[in-house]
Structure 1
Amino acid sequence: MAIPDAHHDEPIEPILPEIPDPPVRVPLKFEDWASVLILSALALITFGNVIGRYLTDTSFAWTEEISVFLLIVLTMTAGASAFVRNQHIRIELIADGGSAQRRRRLALISAVVVLLFFMLLAVLSARMAYDDYSYGDTSPAIGVPAWWYSIWMPILASAIALRMAGMLRRLLRARA
């Protein structure tokens, strides 16, 4: 059976349709670029560590310390954009099923719970960062002050809380 010739002048349809970003005051490009740069840094650090292990049979302890820190930052930056784009993990049968009023009510409950969680995380992680600072804790591998790492958790949790507050505001202004 002969394979028909493809028509090169016809546009190729994407597998998934492109969904526009929701209207936000601060563009999501910040989180997108931060995630890309952090993931690139993680790949380079890991690649360098693998090459170093292969050539010297020793591991660089500082790479693991920095990689763990970068993974946490990556999780927070990517999580912020996932929440705003409504691409976070959820049970779609429950979240997207039912009437429009039910879906709106569930979206409001979800936004409030996530907002409260990240506000609490910001406060508690700020206390942890302050403890790291006041006790003079240092990191195990590099020996830098531990608050250099822990200070980013309340900052990023606050950023997610602000994103969620904006999302909640848009949900409350939208018509049912």
Structure 2
Amino acid sequence: MSSVPDIQALPQVMGDDGEFHVTDEAVDLSGTTPEAWAALAFFWALGLTVFYQFFTRYVLNDSAAWTEEIARYLLIATVFVGAAIGVAKNNHIQVDFLFRFLPHKVARAMALLVDVLRIAFLGAAVVLTWQMMEKMGNYKMTIVDLPMNIVYAVCMVGFAAMCVRSIWVMRVHLERGYSVLEKPESTMEDR
């Protein structure tokens, strides 16, 4: 038996003309969720802010003081809104080791409990963030003369999006009869 692979069996990357030919797949953004677009917008705003900070500090040698604070808040917005993407894909960190050894009915009940507790936690986070915003009142940001509640409002919207997506994830789990905890090889697209 020869260890040399058959050249004809390998994928061909060169055309008959001796040139390398590549075609890209069509880009389909139709499945992109609204929270993903919002997170992308916050991320780009963050990138532009950090670039402006770098430019003013190292090129103009006159740092714009507001960029540090705004960059911090844009990072917070990116994380909280972007976390809803992870909830929708149901790919946040989880420990599924125990589920492999439990009887099916017990594992199913625990997976349902996890879904319910996630929804309850995120719903409580929405309420607590709202209460925090009420207590903050007219508190302003440190350098920029804007209300601090803008930052908390974005966090609350992120929590609300995560809560709505958690409800959707639980509905999918109920429809198909198992969750990713019970079958770690599954994804949200499996139906």
Place the TM-score, normalised by the shorter chain, in its bin: 0.7 to 0.9
Q: Deviations over 1:69-115 (max 9, x none)?
A: 221221122211111212111235446x4468365444323222221
**TM-score, structure 2 length as denominator?**
0.68
Count of aligned pairs between the two proteins: 156
Match of residue 46, structure 2, among 28, 42, 64 = 42
Q: Which amino acid aligns with 2:13?
A: H
Correspondences of 1:98-117 after superposition (within 5 Å): 98=101, 101=104, 104-117=108-121
Q: Which amino acid aligns with 1:158?
A: A
Structure 2 gap ranges (5+)? 15-21, 23-30, 179-191
Q: Which amino acid aligns with 2:118?
A: V
Match of residue 7, structure 1, among 5, 12, 27 = 12
**Structure 1: 4+ residue segments shifted above 4 A:** 2-6
Aligned to 1:125: 129
Shift of 1:126: 0.4
Q: Which amino acid aligns with 1:39?
A: F
Higher helix share: 1
- Larger-gyration structure (1/2): 2
Aligned to 1:18: none
Shift of 1:168: 1.5
Aligned to 1:53: 57
Distance 1:125 1:107, change over 3 A: same
Correspondences of 1:12-161 after superposition (within 5 Å): 28-94=32-98, 97-98=100-101, 101=104, 104-133=108-137, 136-161=138-163
Helix, strand or coil for the counterpart of 1:151?
helix
Are the aligned partners of 1:122 and 1:154 in contact in 2 as well (CA < 8 Å)? Answer: yes
Q: Which amino acid aligns with 1:166?
A: W
C-alpha RMSD of the superposition:
2.8
- Tell me the distance in 2 between the aligned counterparts of 1:94 and 1:40: 40
Identity of counterpart residues, as a percentage?
23
Distance 1:92 1:49, change over 3 A: farther
- Tell me the distance in 1 between the aligned counterparts of 2:117 and 2:79: 19
Helix, strand or coil for the counterpart of 1:139?
coil
Distance 1:93 1:175, change over 3 A: closer
Structure 1 gap ranges (5+)? 13-26
Aligned to 2:183: none
Deviates more, 1:147-156 or 1:46-55: 147-156
Aligned to 2:173: 171
Are the aligned partners of 2:88 and 2:165 in contact in 1 as well (CA < 8 Å)? Answer: yes
